[in-house]
Amino acid sequence: MRNKNTTNLRNSGPVNLENGSLKANIESYCKLLSLSSVADNYESAALDAAKAKLSYQDYLYKLLQQQIVDRVDRSVNARIKKAGFKYMATLDEFDFSFQPQIDEKLIRELATLSFLDSATNVLLVGAPGVGKTHLSIALGLEATKQRRRVKFISAEDLTNELIAANHSNTITDYLESMSRIELLIIDEIGYLDLSREVASLFFRLISKRYEKSSTIITSNKEFQEWGQIFNDDVIATAILDRLLHHSHPFLINGPSYRMKDLLPKSKKKQNLENKNNEI
């Protein structure tokens, strides 16, 4: 039986959460509806609307528009944090003139994220310092901005996670979880001496994601050397077969960005030495 003292909010008219001022009630309603941006901006927006002689509808539209922008920003920031990037890097910060053999047009096309819809992979291969990780993070950031599920992980951390999941008998759940990530970025394959157990688990991971989700891999070793990475030419070939089937491979042979600022000094020093030798 319904309690006679229970208030029927639907039929009782406006609900006053507080018996205070209009300002207090507005802010209480905003809090109840999770409209934090509206609460923060409605007064200043009202002054601006009055000066610009905006209609009530335009005033409300601008308030709600800012609420959506702020909410999306928070969502993107949360996804960036969850992705686990080791630092922030954008395409605008990448100096393509320093690595002219990289197809800038293709990289910028990849930044539209169409490759995610076709489950296409991106393989960035080259010596240390040529910008592989920078480009992978830049593409990953673009994906988070579009609210895609992204995970950045070093090859070493991935190895540890695979071993831990396998030893705890949760590897099936782990692989299933990783297969749902729309863009998996595995950084720096090539520095570890992987065991047969890890090589087999890595193969299972790539197979699970094959033609379902996109993977970006950076490596300091060219494809013909991957048999050394996995200590098994057969497994390495099987992994590469799946990665390369739908992929954009980039072989970067340029100079190291870490040496970029030193190059002008070295050149200047060499020129000075040559001049002294001529004297």
What's the per-residue H, E or C state across 157-206?
HHHHHHHHHHHCCCHHHHHHHHHCCCEEEEEEECCCCCCHHHHHHHHHHH
Q: What integer pLDDT is reported at residue 6 of this predicted model?
A: 43
Torsional sign, CA 171, 175, 181, 185: positive
Q: What integer pLDDT is reported at residue 40 of this predicted model?
A: 87
Q: What integer pLDDT is reported at residue 64 of this predicted model?
A: 83
What predicted TM-score, i.e. pTM, was given to this entire model?
0.74
d(CA 219, CA 191): 8
Question: Does residue 253 sit in helix, strand or coil?
Answer: coil
- By residue count, the chain amounts to 279
2, two tokens: 């319904």
d(CA 215, CA 120): 7
Cβ proximity of 51 and 25 under 8 Å: no
Q: What integer pLDDT is reported at residue 5 of this predicted model?
A: 45
Backbone angles phi, psi at 50, to 5 degrees: -65, -40
Give the number of other Cβ atoms within 10 Å of residue 107's Cβ: 19
Query: Which has more confidence, 194 or 1?
Result: 194
Q: What is the b/e burial string over 236-265, where b = at least 16 CB atoms within 10 angstroms of the residue's CB?
A: bebbbebbeeebbebebeeeebeeeeeeee
d(CA 130, CA 253): 8
d(CA 225, CA 88): 30
Tens-digit pLDDT profile for residues 236-247: 999 999 999 999
CATH 3.40.50.300 fits 84-258, yes or no: yes
Q: Which amino acid is at 253?
A: N
Query: Which has more confidence, 263 or 242?
Result: 242
What band does 234 get if pLDDT is binned at 50, 70 and 90?
A: very high
Domain with CATH 3.40.50.300 in the chain: 84-258
Mean pLDDT on 136-142:
97
pLDDT at residue 117 greater than cutoff 60: yes
Contacts of 188 (CB under 8 A, 6+ apart): 133, 154, 155, 156, 218, 219, 220
pLDDT at residue 1 greater than cutoff 50: no
171, two tokens: 């590897």
Tens-digit pLDDT profile for residues 175-215: 999 999 999 999 999 998 899 999 999 999 999 999 999 99
Give the number of other Cβ atoms within 10 Å of residue 1's Cβ: 3
Q: Which amino acid is at 71?
A: R
pLDDT at residue 274 greater than cutoff 70: no
Largest CA distance in the chain: 108
Cβ proximity of 58 and 49 under 8 Å: yes
Q: By percentage, how much of the chain surpasses pLDDT 70?
A: 86
Tell me 92's DSSP state: G
Cβ proximity of 161 and 174 under 8 Å: yes
| Average pLDDT of every residue of the chain | 86
Q: Which amino acid is at 4?
A: K
pLDDT at residue 272 greater than cutoff 50: no
